[in-house]
Structure 1
């Protein structure tokens, strides 16, 4: 339970007996750029017969989620090569999934990549913004990954089952 004291100030529970005073600016998340919102919308409704990825990043200076890259016909393993090894990224991924009964579907998922050796401040910034971005993309399939080597087609197929 958060209690609002003033316009820009509220109390958050830290433990059972201890509360912390926090200003709204400390708890704020990054905004999503209009360009990123437009690309997310286009990505969600596009018709593509292959795996596609929309990679998003945070511009720290502007405190804004922006588009990093749009990749067509990209396998999960190839996606590893496109991601920086020391900086978090958000990935919206549309995967061509061939089922056991030969049906084809294109599930879309939200992958939050946070490398273990990223700066803590950067990880917190991405973590605070994740829910708002996931809501904007309107995706319920959410997966978090810390090591790029773990992001494989087998890993994704297992998650999507």
Structure 2
């Protein structure tokens, strides 16, 4: 039986894909799923050159996910933020699932050296304006 916060490790394919982000020159993302049986974060889908608008359509409607999003806010073509996002849609029926994802967020974010972390509970919040405002508020 898994306990909340047990997932602090990433499988090798996820580590490799996360390392690749830093060499990208376009917005891209990684959707991460937690394997609670193995207590490891796994690569669910890697998305090259994807906008936030397109990313919305890739997220499961009723399951939480972690997203590593390499994002250029447009201030400098060579300046990207590594955003670690928790997708927690309101339709998730299991509070346990939400808690497992939320408690795994900080150690996994630290493992990938993300610039910031945010919880997204509505696709409406997954927008350029929302990310830019949060980046500005956090001063990163």
- TM-score, structure 1 as length reference: 0.74
Whole-angstrom CA distance in 2 between matches of 1:84 and 1:120: 16
1:7-31 C-alpha deviation (Å, 9 max, x unpaired): xxxxxxxxxxxxxxxxxx7455123
1:68 aligns with 2:54: no
1:137 aligns with 2:115: no
1:11-56 C-alpha deviation (Å, 9 max, x unpaired): xxxxxxxxxxxxxx7455123212222221222x2132x2111111
**Correspondence 1:50-65 to 2 at 5 A:** 50-65=26-41
Unaligned runs of 5+ in 2: none
**Correspondence 1:71-82 to 2 at 5 A:** 71-82=47-58
Identify which of 34, 42, 48 aligns with 2:20: 42
Residue in structure 2 matched with residue 83 of structure 1 by the alignment = 59
- TM-score, structure 2 as length reference: 0.83
Indicate the structure with greater strand content: 1
**Correspondence 1:87-102 to 2 at 5 A:** 87-99=63-75
Identify which of 6, 11, 32 aligns with 2:10: 32
Whole-angstrom CA distance in 2 between matches of 1:109 and 1:124: 20
Residue in structure 2 matched with residue 107 of structure 1 by the alignment = 81
Structure with larger RCO (C-alpha < 8 A, sep 6+): 2
Whole-angstrom CA distance in 2 between matches of 1:128 and 1:28: 5
Q: Name the stretch that deviates more: 26-35 or 151-160.
A: 26-35
- 1:132 to partner: Cα distance: 1.2
1:115-134 C-alpha deviation (Å, 9 max, x unpaired): 12211111111112111101
1:82-140 C-alpha deviation (Å, 9 max, x unpaired): 000111111111122222xxx32222211111112211111111112111101111113
Unaligned runs of 5+ in 1: 1-24
